[in-house]
Structure 1
Amino acid sequence: METLTGHPVRSQYKLPWQSDALPKADAMLVAPLSATSLNKWGAGIADTLAIGLVSEGMNMGVPVLAMPYFNQAQGGQPAVARSIVDLRAQGVRYLDGPDGYESHRPKNGRPAKFPWRRALAAVAHTVGES
């Protein structure tokens, strides 16, 4: 990633006196998003750098998109629907259904078939709108 972007890869929070080595994002994509991360994010639990960055970003004017990847049994958990509503209310573009990812049956996931092109096209469209 560092070679592709020219920026360091961060996996830990920076200390308050350290400057940020990353430029302001044009948009952020959270994908593939697990049901666990979705529910933590929707509940405001930012206990990882990844969730912390998008939690801040969506409240700093950065367009944030999320595309899930979990099965229908996980998606049937009532917290999932609440988290989606909460994130959408905060401006997150949640990419599900025909325009995103449709949950698969349990034990039938195909990670290699994750629709990255659809996710990246949604980001490009969002960036083009702003």
Structure 2
Amino acid sequence: MTTRTLYLFCSAAPPVFDVAHVIEDAQVRGWDVCLGLTPTAAHWLAGSLDGLAALTGHPVRWQYKLPGEDDVWPAAGALLFAPATFNSVNSWALGLTDRFVAGVAAEALGKNTPAVAVPCVNTALAAHPRFEQSLSVLRGAGVGVLYGEGGFTPGPPGQDTPPHFPWQAALDAVDRAGTTPP
């Protein structure tokens, strides 16, 4: 059996605290999971990073490797960026690659790696004109964006934890995307 590798990228939004369960669910579905985080998400999960690395069997990454260092992850069969904050969505769409996860996600588009994004924003950020433009850019590049009906629906500003984050829908979308040849 061929192993499928999933790059699971997470921004600093409250659903990131469910990432261990999401990794386990993806593994049950047959994915070898490599976890990448934004620097703030890595800070939020600092006490769990060793356990998450043990769970995935790969180092958790939030920084680029140094020139000349070997890549410690296998090549991606699919990429899931969830939760993807306002900053991460816009960085990815604009090709701003100063952060590891945004840079690898941007490069994945050029490699035709199947990708799914699940934004996690509030209604005030969702109303910003750049956000919808960025979603359109990602969709146009072939990214499956789960936002609105059937995906993530934003709540009001100040709401710390969204009432429902569509992790299962995200994994279903990755399963579908990851079975389509690039």
Instruction: Map residues 24-63 of structure 1 onto 2, 5 A cutoff.
Output: 24-63=75-114
Q: Counterpart amino acid of 1:24?
A: A
Which position in structure 2 is the counterpart of 1:110? Answer: 161
Q: Are 2:130 and 1:79 aligned?
A: yes
Distance 1:32 1:99 in 2: 15
> Structure 1 regions of 5+ residues with no counterpart?
none
Distance 1:110 1:11 in 2: 23
Distance 1:100 1:22 in 2: 29
Deviates more, 1:3-12 or 1:103-112: 103-112
Q: Give, in angstroms, the shift of residue 35 of structure 1.
A: 1.1
RMSD of aligned alpha carbons: 1.6
Tell me if the contact between 2:155 and 2:162 (Cα under 8 Å) persists in the aligned partners: no
Which digits, 9 at most, give the CA deviation of each residue in 1:61-107, with x for residues without a partner?
21111001111111010001111111112221111122211122223
TM-score of the aligned structures, taking structure 1 as reference length: 0.90
Which position in structure 2 is the counterpart of 1:16? Answer: 67
Q: Counterpart amino acid of 1:98?
A: E
Counterpart secondary structure, 2:179: helix
Tell me if the contact between 2:144 and 2:173 (Cα under 8 Å) persists in the aligned partners: no
Tell me if the contact between 1:7 and 1:21 (Cα under 8 Å) persists in the aligned partners: yes
Distance 1:26 1:104 in 2: 32
Distance 1:13 1:80 in 2: 26
Deviates more, 1:9-18 or 1:43-52: 9-18
Task: Please list every run of at least 4 consecutive aligned residues from structure 1 whose deviation after the TM superposition is greater than 2 angstroms.
Answer: 105-113
Which position in structure 2 is the counterpart of 1:120? Answer: 171
Q: Counterpart amino acid of 1:52?
A: G
TM-score of the aligned structures, taking structure 2 as reference length: 0.66
Counterpart secondary structure, 1:31: strand
Q: Give, in angstroms, the shift of residue 42 of structure 1.
A: 1.5
Tell me if the contact between 1:35 and 1:80 (Cα under 8 Å) persists in the aligned partners: yes
Q: Give, in angstroms, the shift of residue 13 of structure 1.
A: 0.8
Q: Give, in angstroms, the shift of residue 22 of structure 1.
A: 0.3
Distance 1:87 1:105 in 2: 24
Point out the structure with the larger strand share. 2
